[in-house]
Structure 1
Amino acid sequence: MVTLSQITNPVLPGYHPDPSILRVEDDYYIAVSTFEWFPGVQIYHSKDMVNWRLLTYPLTRESQLDMIGNPNSGGVWAPCLSYADGLFYLIYTDVKSRMGAFKDTPNYLVTAENIEGPWSEPVYLNSSGFDPSLFHDDDGKKWLINMIWDHRKGTNSFAGIALQEYSVEEKKLVGPVKNIFKGTELGLTEAPHIYKRNGFYYLLTAEGGTWYTHAATMARSKTLEGPYEVDPTNPILTSDQENEDQLQKAGHGSLVETQNGEWYMAHLCARPVVDKKCILGRETAIQKCYWTEDGWLRVEGGNNPQTIVEAPDLPAHPFEEESNLDDFSSDTLKRYWNSLRRPFEEDWISLTERPGYLRLKGGESMNSCHRQSLLARRLESFQAEVETEVEFSPEHFQQMAGLIVYYDTDDHVYLRVTDHEEHGKCIGIIETRHGKYDELLNQDIPLNNATTKLKAMINHQWLQFYYVDGEGEWQTIGEKIDISNLSDDDADYIRFTGTFVGVCNQDLSGQQLPADFAYFKYEEK
């Protein structure tokens, strides 16, 4: 039996925040937040906690997740994956508004007998706060916990952890709601998970805010309803902000026990590229843990996250990697593709109307929170090269298609083909930075051929675009662009996603002019 000696963090690089880890027999799963990106909730699978593969998305239908109009960094927050009674349970929030005093946070439950589905229609639970979690007690009862949001002036907005029983038979919450934990001096108490061990209920929460002060807090009680005693060495996990080489923003964790009795914590983290800006977003890491004689959880090596972690005593189980070259020859999309807010439907995206091509029909602008025609995948490395070829015949300046590097509606860079009244079909670079639109060339460059190749080279915070008009050699277009603004950390408001690379098509005239993409290549350097 071959075992693996180490876990290298982050195990899920790029935008993979708020991990909920679960073991069912010999299989390990991690569910992560997807916010406004569709399908909802990514579930990764592993046999050894070293090698992970993207397995499935449970929220694939509009009836499960209707995000049209959701704000940036709204949508699916902090899913919780659990298993009991032969069923997988997934709890999630669909955040409808998040700016200002109020947050609209409906929480839902879906179930499936098989992790790969089909997943049920959602059961509405409550809207009192976000980060819901389901605890299955050993007496068969099930309990929902979530943080409570308090909008009132002069109060603690993170008002504690609510506990209420969930009735499987009635498919709803029943009984009284109790506030079981109001947090510590770290503040911003959220992301609750409950575990039962040796007669104690352990409440693991995130505190300190999902910034560089993020942390994991542990408390315990002899009864489910509390009172909960905080670990005397709290926080049990946080980052050393003085050590820039260390994983940062460590917090928001969940626990798993291996078949052999080893304990691990999956948690979010981030890696800044410059000036504490993390273009890859918040990532997932795993730490090895142990229990002290007096029953408290500790992270091996101290309460700061480690990049190299001892792997569990399990057989190595690598997976075949999905090709990073998509020639669109299949009639289904590869698993790593995502869209903004809406499902993959033939009214805007097709692999069959022109076999061998991805056809995108022109949608709304890059600033829209409704119906963009954009297909993208996560940037998972600080050094990467992405390339595509588009066949597109615009007739008006309101029609454009091409290659985009995208964080959200306020921050993106776009190498696009369009039309100009004076020189016809042309190519140029447009950018929205902090919500302000700009054109980065003095004048767009005329194109003479039906097809145009487009390429982006990313080196940490720098982006360089290239193009080919028809056939020939790659030509540089524009200057290097600083993309450090494509991060959680460079806006005047809190946001939570990460950088994507992909293709898109806008037709602001409403005619839905199609653009056909021959391939998309993603290569990490």
Structure 2
Amino acid sequence: MPPITNPILPGFNADPSILRVGDDYYIATSTFEWFPGVQIHHSTDLANWDLVTRPLNRKSQLDMRGNPDSCGIWAPCLTHDGEKYWLVYTDVKRKDGSFKDTHNYIVSADKIEGPWSDPWYVNSSGFDPSLFHDADTGKKWFVNMLWDHRRRPRAFAGIRLQEWDAKAGKLIGERKTIFYGSELDLVEGPHLYKRNGYYYLLTAEGGTGYTHACTLARSKGIWGPYEIHPETHILTAKDDIHAAIQRSGHGDIVDTPDGKTYLVHLMGRPTTQLRRCVLGRECGIQECYWKDDWLYVKNGPVPSLHVEVPGTKDEEKYWAEQKYTFDKQLHKDFQWLRTPEPERIFSINDSQLTLYGRESIGSWFEQALVARRQTHFSYDAETVVDFNPEDERHFAGLTAYYCRFNFFYLTVSGTEDGKRELLLLTSEVSFPHGDLEQPLAAPVRLPDKGKVKLALTIRGAKLQFFYAVVGEAQEELKKIGPVYDASILCDECGGHRNEGSFTGAFVGMAASDLNGTAPVKEAKFDYFLYRPQKHVTDRYEVKGQ
């Protein structure tokens, strides 16, 4: 088989947890403030993956209204105990400052597609927990990092272990910190395994930026003591700034039916001379081998761009144009922000997506924004909207979005005397204020009624908006506004402290009614187009594609 090119899950697919059941592989990844929570992809060959479910899809499982950017669902762990699937996840309510409010839950299901149970609340002592099923003892162990607010700036206080009683739905017995990490520090993301008489503890260290790493330790007993791997970190790019894959860490391992071992891991592909990861934290894979009862990454510890797996990646599918229509239900590629009550922000009827204008773009509570991940460095996006604003506090349109502090938004809006206009609302990294970039680009007058086609192109770090009035004799897309810096739609510009933003760029449709009066203003969208483009703008981008 020819090698595949990393990543295996392009775009924002962070903190992978991998599982094999028979001939089927599953990867669960973080979704943060995007709803429904947790993405689970399926594969039979480790090369080609399809999204099969987002299990946290109702209010009893998850309500993130009010969660700040990059909070919400962190580092899910997906396991199977021989009878059913188990999913552990954290809902983060606060992340900045000395305190972290991190609530940990467990859900289960007989089938991967669900239905998934209502959650058992476990604890709030840290984040990135996992569940280990010890086949020899029949016990289940809850493993998570401990956050100690007294120790700032190094509040990562080690990996803690306690038994979890599945019948009672609670932690029981002794709890103990079993591992404090290496000198790299910031130990998190633990996973436990058992092999050849050893318990293996795989952790993430070094933060989520360019010093990220996977650290391995082992012990003859589950309580330790754990000795660290001879090379300490089995995967990291921290010592090779020229590696094609950077920010590599937070991993999980899986065995194939023929006995090979693979590591899936978080990764980033920086672009521009500022090393910005526009596609967020993606999911890569590495082939491994065992030697002296220690796991090593083949050609590691620096991650390889090209890796041999059982299958061959379907490149034609990766580069295919996606035209989304709104016939029955929202396509699985789309998500929205925070709310478990989607009926308040959108509906699908008469072959259109209707967005109900709610709060402003960037709201942490209830905004009508439906979008898909950016999974290519260059692409075209297009939609047609029918929207009749009454004043300047009504707007709807097309957005390239990262978070409240960095977005680009081409809107059909109104003037104070009720005339329609096309207006660009952009943030251009306004942390910590969340202000729009001033002065705004000059608006364009629109006919009083009728549909408008909105489009954008991203070519590497360059973004350009376009528009056309539907039904005009010369219905051609015209440029509007300047060329913007698309590279700000990235973790590095996400409005938090260094290495404190965790998602990725999205593109989609949004609507706001800031008057808040009834009836709410509706924006109707006919379709949404996402067209990948093979376009190289600089030497960094060559590495990614």
Counterpart AA for 2:284: A
Match of 2:510 in 1: 504
The Cα of 1:421 is off from its aligned counterpart by: 2.7
CA contact (8 A) 1:358 1:516 kept: yes
Match of 1:456 in 2: 456
Match runs of 1:41-440 below 5 Å: 41-138=38-135, 139-153=137-151, 156-239=154-237, 242-274=240-272, 275-292=274-291, 294-312=292-310, 324-329=322-327, 331-343=328-340, 345-352=342-349, 355-421=350-416, 424-432=419-427, 433-434=429-430, 435-438=434-437
The Cα of 1:244 is off from its aligned counterpart by: 3.5
The Cα of 1:483 is off from its aligned counterpart by: 2.2
Match of 2:524 in 1: 516
Match of 1:444 in 2: 443
Match runs of 1:453-492 below 5 Å: 453-471=453-471, 472-490=475-493, 491-492=495-496
**Which whole-Å CA distance do the structure 1 matches of 2:231 and 2:76 have between them?**
28
CA contact (8 A) 2:144 2:189 kept: yes
Show CA shifts across 1:199-257 (max 9, x none).
00000000011000000000000000000000111211001554435100000000000
Show CA shifts across 1:397-454 (max 9, x none).
1000000111011111100010013681000211122222125644310001411000
CA contact (8 A) 1:27 1:45 kept: yes
CA contact (8 A) 2:237 2:243 kept: no
CA contact (8 A) 2:389 2:413 kept: yes
3-state SS of paired residue (2:492): helix
CA contact (8 A) 1:212 1:241 kept: no
CA contact (8 A) 1:48 1:317 kept: no
CA contact (8 A) 1:34 1:76 kept: yes
CA contact (8 A) 1:325 1:520 kept: yes
* Structure-2 change in CA distance of 1:164 and 1:318 (3 Å): farther
**Which whole-Å CA distance do the structure 2 matches of 1:44 and 1:318 have between them?**
17
RMSD: 1.8
3-state SS of paired residue (1:69): coil
Counterpart AA for 1:515: A
The Cα of 1:24 is off from its aligned counterpart by: 0.3
Counterpart AA for 1:450: G
CA contact (8 A) 2:3 2:312 kept: no
CA contact (8 A) 1:266 1:285 kept: yes
* Structure-2 change in CA distance of 1:103 and 1:492 (3 Å): closer
TM-score, normalization: structure 1?
A: 0.95
Counterpart AA for 1:476: K
3-state SS of paired residue (1:510): coil
The Cα of 1:96 is off from its aligned counterpart by: 0.6
* Structure-2 change in CA distance of 1:62 and 1:263 (3 Å): same
Counterpart AA for 1:279: V
* Structure-2 change in CA distance of 1:476 and 1:318 (3 Å): closer
**Which whole-Å CA distance do the structure 2 matches of 1:208 and 1:167 have between them?**
32
**Which whole-Å CA distance do the structure 2 matches of 1:344 and 1:19 have between them?**
27
The Cα of 1:130 is off from its aligned counterpart by: 0.1
TM-score, normalization: structure 2?
A: 0.92
**Which whole-Å CA distance do the structure 1 matches of 2:217 and 2:439 have between them?**
53
The Cα of 1:324 is off from its aligned counterpart by: 1.7
Runs of 4+ displaced beyond 6 Å: 314-323
CA contact (8 A) 1:193 1:254 kept: yes
CA contact (8 A) 1:10 1:284 kept: yes
CA contact (8 A) 2:240 2:302 kept: no
Counterpart AA for 1:509: N
CA contact (8 A) 2:16 2:265 kept: yes
Sequence identity (%): 48
**Which whole-Å CA distance do the structure 2 matches of 1:358 and 1:118 have between them?**
26
The Cα of 1:62 is off from its aligned counterpart by: 1.0
The Cα of 1:85 is off from its aligned counterpart by: 3.5
Query: Which consecutive unaligned segments of at least 5 residues does structure 2 have?
Result: 534-545
- How many pairs does the alignment contain? 517
